[in-house]
Amino acid sequence: MQGAGQRKALRSAYRILPLICFLSLLAFGIRAASLTAQSFWRDEVDALCYAHEFPQMLWALFSPRQMQAPPFACPPPPFSWEPEGPLGEQMRSLLGAIIRQNGPLYYFLLRGWIALTGLTEYAARYFSLLLGVLCVPLLFALGARLRDRRTGAVAAALLACSPYLVWYSQEVKMYTLVPALALLALYGFLRAVEHGGKWWALQVVATSLLLYTHIWGALLIPLEGLWLVLTWPRWRRHWRGALAAMALLTLPYLPLALWQIPAVWVRRETGFPHHTLSEMSLILLNGWSTGIVGRGWPWGALVIGGAAVLGLASGLCRAGRRSILLLLAWLILPLLIIWVVSLRQPLFTDRYLIWCAPAMYLLVGTGLDTLVQKKATTRFSFLMSEPALAAAWGVVVLGVFGANLWTQAALPIKSDVRTAARHVEAHYQPGDLLVFQIPHIRYTFDYYFGPTDYLWVDGLYTNHRNPDGSYILPPEIVDLWMAQRIGAAQAVWLIASEAEMWDERNLVQAWLEAHYIRTDEAHFMRISVYRYQTR
């Protein structure tokens, strides 16, 4: 009998395998087709710089030598460190500084990737693409284990086509590695609850890697603790492994947590906007339903969110409600923790919780499975049967997803530094001076700009204010500084992106307008370039 059951399960797995392969190929095609549609933005170039700098600094501990310059302009490393003193102290100092950066593991993996594939946009982003595609079979496996294969397949299809997940699969950042590790850790958890043994090791390893991929990955640990409570007594036979796994995930980090907890409750400004809990929830619902652009809001969010609510309600009223509670905890607990922390230190941005989006897609799959399994009833018979309603839902979702995917692929959304650099390069003459306002835009510009030896200066920061709100720098001082920085340049280019962050009175450009003749200007998404010639 056991052999017959195993053969039946194997035949069932073979039947579902083509669907998962198709969804994975679909996810790959959607992401690969428009992988370079958007220009690099500053965070992506920073990631490439960190991938170059961090491994070199670590290697310098064992083989001191002159560090190789990166292949394009990079900001200084985000921490100071000098290779001196005993090796152990040097290593602790350097590793501590690197670990404090958000996602050091990703940068080391990225360094190995670009060493194999190169630094082109397509090659660098391909790493995120592969991790994004990997999330499709991982979510199916988790959904099949948590609910059933139909639910897992619907959730995997939503993840494959989600404009939100596609966007981050096309960016040189860690935001596809994060959900991949979270899905792997939760899958290991569910297998460990039933079988124990090596599956606890999978949960511990994947969760630990997540901690070194993104700082908010630590929220997976309290979620796993809550899942342990909700799944009792299923893991009673494996309680030693469960306690050992949670000990390995908490005890090594307890001193760090005790050190950091007091800082969490200090009220301070972080640069993130203040959001209420309801605003955070709507931002996440909008992103997971309609993507970065938000076309179809609020109808797309209502359709997808409504299916998730139906899945929640129907799941709680049927057998298997424990799995719905697990999904609800996955969806709510991390958001609640970030909201509580943000009451004193705003730290919320939607991409930090990207690993929670699969929970909503699994709830949606549960809701659609409820409809598909029903026959026509008098309640809906005058309109359509429940299966037909599920089909209509699918058409609407495909329309919303398709419209947002097309927008993300066809229209510039990020700062279009690539096109701006090509425009300047086409009209650039040796000896031209480039002024970058804000200065950080230079690193992305330099990635695309052909000439490697050009004159440049940073634009002035003029936004310092006195306690009464008045500006510290008067225009006369700005005039003197500009005259000193520009010198005797015959032609000057101003490359301006988010210039108001640096010079909200526009004094830098006003000085150029007063002392030079503007001979060219061009405007692109979130970046403008101006060329000035001496009078």
Secondary structure, 3-state, 194-260: HHCCHHHHHHHHHHHHHHCCCHHHHHHHHHHHHHHHHHCCCCHHHHHHHHHHHHHHHHHHHHHHHHH
What is the pLDDT, as a whole number, of residue 449?
A: 97
Q: What one-letter code names the amino acid at 498?
A: E
Q: What one-letter code names the amino acid at 442?
A: R
* pLDDT tens for each residue of 31-47: 999 999 999 999 999 99
Domain shared by 311 and 386, yes or no: yes
Domain shared by 434 and 395, yes or no: no
User: How far, in Å, CA of 293 to CA of 8, rounded?
Assistant: 45
Domain shared by 66 and 173, yes or no: no
Domain shared by 175 and 266, yes or no: yes
What is the pLDDT, as a whole number, of residue 131?
A: 98
Strand partners, 455: 433
Whole-structure pTM value: 0.92
Mean of pLDDT values over 210-228: 95
Whether 323 has a pLDDT exceeding 90, the answer reads: yes
Out of 101, 119, 137, a domain closes at 119
Whether 23 has a pLDDT exceeding 70, the answer reads: yes
* pLDDT tens for each residue of 358-390: 999 999 999 988 887 765 444 444 445 667 888
* Closest to 126 measured CA to CA, from 142, 103, 138, 109: 109
What is the pLDDT, as a whole number, of residue 5?
A: 53
- Residue 259's pLDDT band (cuts 50, 70, 90): low
Whether 272 has a pLDDT exceeding 70, the answer reads: yes
* Closest to 308 measured CA to CA, from 292, 272, 332: 332
* Secondary structure element (H or E) that encloses residue 517, with its range: strand 516-524
What is the pLDDT, as a whole number, of residue 206?
A: 97
- SS3 for 444? helix
Domain shared by 224 and 87, yes or no: no
What is the pLDDT, as a whole number, of residue 329?
A: 97
CB 203 within 8 A of CB 224: yes
Domain shared by 97 and 147, yes or no: no
Out of 82, 101, 119, a domain closes at 119
Out of 410, 442, 470, a domain closes at 410
Whether 281 has a pLDDT exceeding 90, the answer reads: yes
Residue that is written with structure tokens 């800082």 in the block = 263
Domain shared by 284 and 315, yes or no: yes
What is the pLDDT, as a whole number, of residue 25?
A: 98
User: How far, in Å, CA of 180 to CA of 178, rounded?
Assistant: 5
Domain shared by 22 and 55, yes or no: no
| Buried/exposed code over 2-23 (b: 16+ C-beta within 10 A; e: otherwise) | eeeeeeeeeeeeeeeeeebeeb
CB 534 within 8 A of CB 494: no
Domain shared by 405 and 502, yes or no: no
* pLDDT tens for each residue of 59-118: 877 776 667 788 899 988 887 767 677 777 777 777 777 877 777 899 999 999 999 999
Mean of per-residue pLDDT scores for the chain: 90
What is the pLDDT, as a whole number, of residue 480?
A: 93
- Residue 315's pLDDT band (cuts 50, 70, 90): confident
Mean of pLDDT values over 166-186: 98
- Residue 258's pLDDT band (cuts 50, 70, 90): low
Whether 153 has a pLDDT exceeding 90, the answer reads: yes
Task: Give the chain's domain count.
Answer: 3
What is the pLDDT, as a whole number, of residue 263?
A: 66
Mean of pLDDT values over 481-509: 94
Whether 306 has a pLDDT exceeding 70, the answer reads: yes
CB 496 within 8 A of CB 527: yes
CB 405 within 8 A of CB 163: yes
What is the pLDDT, as a whole number, of residue 4?
A: 58
Is pLDDT larger for residue 3 or for residue 64? Answer: 64
Q: At what angle do helices 357-373 and 386-410 cross, to 10 degrees?
A: 150
Strand partners, 528: 496, 523
- Residue 267's pLDDT band (cuts 50, 70, 90): confident
349: left (phi over 0), alpha (psi -120 to 50) or beta: beta
Domain shared by 338 and 193, yes or no: yes
Domain shared by 299 and 365, yes or no: yes
Mean of pLDDT values over 307-311: 90
Structural domain for 107, as ranges: 42-119
Domain shared by 255 and 139, yes or no: yes
Name the least confident of 199-213, 389-403, 446-460: 389-403
What is the pLDDT, as a whole number, of residue 65?
A: 67
- SS3 for 470? coil
What is the pLDDT, as a whole number, of residue 487?
A: 87
Mean of pLDDT values over 260-277: 78
* Closest to 41 measured CA to CA, from 485, 529, 443: 443
Whether 161 has a pLDDT exceeding 80, the answer reads: yes
Whether 284 has a pLDDT exceeding 80, the answer reads: yes
Whether 11 has a pLDDT exceeding 60, the answer reads: yes
What is the pLDDT, as a whole number, of residue 383?
A: 45
If you ran DSSP here, which 8-state letter would residue 119 be given? S
